[in-house]
Amino acid sequence: MATAMSAEQRFWGKVVKTDDCWLWSAGATGGGYGAFWDGKRQVRAHRFSYELARGPIPEGLDLDHRHTCPKLCVRPDHLRPATEKQNLENLSGARSDSQTGIRGVTYHKVTKTWCARVTHNQKMHVLGYFKTPEEAGEVARAFRNLVFTHNDADRI
C-alpha cells in the first residue's frame, strides 16, 4: 500500500525550477498567484515556499517578489517580507492601463506636454510638465528614488 505524500512533497512536485525563477505549475488564484492546498486550507504557493525555507512571515507583512519575477515564482530568495506600501513601491513598470508605457508619466491634453507624477504616502506629487515622455519618466524615477525604499527596478 502506498503511503500518502506530505504537503511538502506534493508542493515540490508542482514546481518547475528554471535557471532563475522556480515557477508554480499548478492552479492559480484570480490575482495570478499560485494556489496550493496544504492539507488544511488553500494558501498562496509563494508564501508556502517562503515559510518552508525561512519560517513564518512576520505579522502584518506581505511577501514582495523580486521585481523581475512573475507572480508564479516561489523561489524563497526571490521573496522578501514587506509592508503593503513597500510592496507597491516595487513595481516593475507602468500600470497596465498606461498610455505611455512609462511609470509615472501621463499625457496632459491641455498643455500638450508629458506630466511626471508620483504617489507617495497617499499624496499625489505632480513633478512638472515636459516635452518628451522620456524626460518626464526620468524625473519621476529620480523622485521615486528619493522617497521610496523598495523600488528595485528604478535603481538598476
Exposure letters 32-53 (e unless 16+ CB within 10 A, then b): ebbbbeeeeeebbbbbbbbeee
Alpha carbon separation from 40 to 7, 43, 92 (Å, rounded): 10, 9, 34
Question: How far is the first Cα of the chain from the last one, in angstroms, to the nearest whole number?
Answer: 54
Q: Do 154 and 141 contact (CB within 8 A), yes or no?
A: yes
**Structural domain spans, the chain:** 7-82, 93-155
pLDDT of residue 138: 96
No. of helices (H) and no. of strands (E), the chain: 4, 9
Residue 111: the pLDDT is 93
pLDDT digits (tens, 9 = 90+) for 114-154: 999 999 988 999 999 999 999 999 999 999 999 998 888 88
Q: Give the pLDDT score at 16.
A: 97
Residue 144's closest CA among 115, 107, 119, 108? 119
How confident is the model at residue 117, as a pLDDT? 95
The SS3 of residue 82 is: strand
Looking at 1.20.120, 1.10.287, 3.30.730, 3.30.499, the CATH number of the domain 93-155 comes to: 3.30.730
Q: What is the pTM of this model?
A: 0.80
**What is the rounded distance in angstroms from the CA atom of residue 126 to the CA atom of residue 109?**
15
pLDDT at 4: 78
Burial call 67-97: b when 16+ CB within 10 Å, e when fewer: bebebbbbbbebbbbbeeebbebbbeebeee
pLDDT in tens, the chain (156 residues): 666 789 999 999 999 999 999 999 999 988 889 999 999 999 999 999 999 999 999 999 999 998 888 999 999 999 999 999 988 888 878 877 788 889 999 999 999 999 999 999 889 999 999 999 999 999 999 999 999 988 888 887
